């Protein structure tokens, strides 16, 4: 029996996908989703344990309010892209965070390295696709969506492959070499995105973060966490050409960045890209800074409650955004954890089960 039809209901699955697609085309001012943390399997590295927990997680997800497309997150940490260039992976002292040591000490050295192909059987792309296929068979369903097992943008990937201070200094001392490296990384990432798209039968709908859903025919979701480390001038020099190539390959982009990146909003607005969505975290980046993007980009806000004192909860922040921004500002409120407050917020705005 098709388990997703049983848990979610076929009509609900179809209606939610249609609503998501209409939203990205401009319908509605807001969507709301609530992600379940029960039966968590993300950053679990045992495939059998993932396949034991994922169905339980999906079944519980079906009981939550919001526009939740049933998705599989093959999350092996935020280093899956860089690992294709090599480098030693390790966990921090808590055993809970995985890192990848830079494999190149200079941009020139990185340019001599050939990354493994996206479908290499030892890499996370293949591991994630294999687990996704097994899970689809286990659920007897073709309605499951896939999240990419880490999709770092070109700048982020370069900063994981190359010693980061060396990369930053090379932007001043040898910018042509940095451009050459970013171009080569972009070539590879286009192939990586196409591999995940094709092997999932075009059921790719986002990255491991944020918990929104952007079907791959509408664009690629990626991380731009180098933005906080770059000046507006440096980002304007090194980011747009490669984001534009990714946009042309996939028909749009959704960007995750959880740091201080508001100074780059104008650069993104001026770039020749279809920026479908942009994630930001208050107080590091504010909605006021993002005004240049408001005409064409959906905002995906989060809040670090312990770094500010203005708002007592995410819901209070979200209400403030709705009440004090122009009507053309559009939002996807993606709760990372379920709670009574999140569920009440969903239902208040018409996103009940």
Q: What is the pLDDT along the chain (353 residues), one digit of tens a residue?
A: 899 999 999 999 999 999 999 999 999 999 999 999 899 999 999 999 999 999 999 999 999 999 989 999 999 999 999 999 997 888 887 767 888 899 999 999 999 999 999 999 999 999 999 999 999 999 999 999 999 999 999 999 999 999 999 999 999 999 999 999 999 999 999 999 999 999 999 999 999 999 999 999 999 999 999 999 999 999 999 999 999 999 999 999 999 999 999 999 999 999 999 999 999 999 999 999 999 999 999 999 999 999 999 999 999 999 999 999 999 999 999 999 999 999 999 999 999 87
Give the model confidence (pLDDT) of 25-80 as tens digits.
999 999 999 999 899 999 999 999 999 999 999 999 999 999 989 999 999 999 99
Burial of 113 (C-beta count, 10 Å sphere; 0-12/13-18/19+): middle
Looking at residue 26, its pLDDT comes to 97
- Please tell me what DSSP assigns to residue 41: -
Which burial class, exposed, middle or buried, applies to 231 when counting CB atoms under 10 A from its CB (0-12, 13-18, 19+)? exposed
Q: Distance between CA atoms of 206 and 220, rounded to whole angstroms?
A: 7
Work out how many domains the chain is built from and give that number.
1
Answer for the pair 260, 238: CB distance below 8 angstroms, yes or no.
no
Dist CA 34 CA 335 (whole Å): 5
Task: Enter the tokens of residue 279.
Answer: 């994630």
Q: Which domain holds residue 311?
A: 3-348
Strand extents, DSSP E, the chain = 30-34, 71-72, 89-91, 98-100, 145-146, 220-223, 253-256, 275-282, 298-303, 331-335
Question: Which two tokens mark 196?
Answer: 């995940």
Q: Which residues contact 35 (CB under 8 A, 6 or more apart)?
A: 61, 68, 211, 334, 335, 336, 337, 338
Residue 310 sits in a domain whose CATH number is 3.20.20.210
Look at residue 353 and tell me if it is in a domain.
Answer: no
83 located within any domain: yes
Q: Which residues pair with 281 in a beta bridge?
A: 302
pLDDT of residue 98: 85
C-alpha–C-alpha distance, residues 159 and 171, integer Å? 12
Reference 97, options 162, 166, 165, 42; nearest CA is 42
Q: What is the pLDDT of residue 213?
A: 97
Residue 29 domain-assigned?
yes
Q: Which of 282, 259, 346, 348 is nearest to 67 (CA)?
A: 346
Give the pair of three-digit tokens for residue 149.
């097992």
């Amino acid at each position: 029996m098709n388990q997703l039809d049983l848990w979610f209901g076929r009509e609900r699955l179809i209606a939610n996908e249609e609503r998501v697609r209409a939203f990205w085309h401009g319908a509605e001012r807001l969507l709301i989703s609530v992600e379940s943390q029960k039966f968590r399997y993300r950053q679990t590295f045992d495939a059998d344990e993932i396949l034991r927990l994922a169905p339980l997680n999906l079944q519980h997800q079906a009981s939550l309010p919001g526009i939740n497309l049933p998705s599989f997150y093959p999350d092996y940490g935020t280093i899956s892209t860089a690992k294709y260039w090599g480098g030693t992976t390790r966990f921090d002292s808590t055993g809970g965070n995985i890192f990848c040591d830079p494999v190149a000490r200079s941009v020139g050295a990185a340019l001599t390295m050939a990354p493994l192909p996206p479908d290499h059987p030892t890499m996370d792309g293949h591991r994630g696709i294999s687990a996704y296929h097994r899970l689809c068979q286990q659920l007897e369903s073709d309605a499951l969506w896939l999240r990419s097992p880490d999709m770092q943008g070109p700048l982020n990937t370069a900063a994981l492959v190359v010693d980061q201070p060396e990369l930053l200094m090379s932007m001043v001392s040898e910018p042509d070499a940095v451009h050459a490296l970013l171009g080569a990384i972009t070539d590879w990432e286009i192939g990586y995105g196409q591999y995940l798209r094709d092997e999932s039968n075009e059921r790719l709908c986002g990255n491991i973060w944020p918990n929104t859903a952007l079907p791959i025919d509408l664009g690629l979701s990626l991380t731009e966490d180098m933005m906080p480390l770059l000046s507006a001038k440096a980002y304007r020099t090194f980011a747009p050409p490669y984001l534009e190539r990714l946009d042309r390959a996939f028909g749009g982009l959704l960007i995750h960045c959880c740091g201080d990146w508001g100074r780059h909003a104008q650069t993104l607005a001026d770039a020749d890209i279809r920026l479908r969505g942009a994630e930001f975290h208050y107080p590091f980046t504010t909605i006021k800074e993002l005004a240049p993007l408001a005409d064409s980009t959906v905002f995906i806000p989060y809040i670090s409650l312990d770094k500010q004192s203005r708002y007592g909860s995410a819901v209070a922040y979200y209400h403030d955004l709705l009440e004090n921004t122009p009507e053309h500002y559009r939002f996807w409120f993606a709760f990372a954890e379920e709670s009574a407050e999140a569920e009440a917020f969903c239902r208040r705005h018409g996103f009940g089960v």
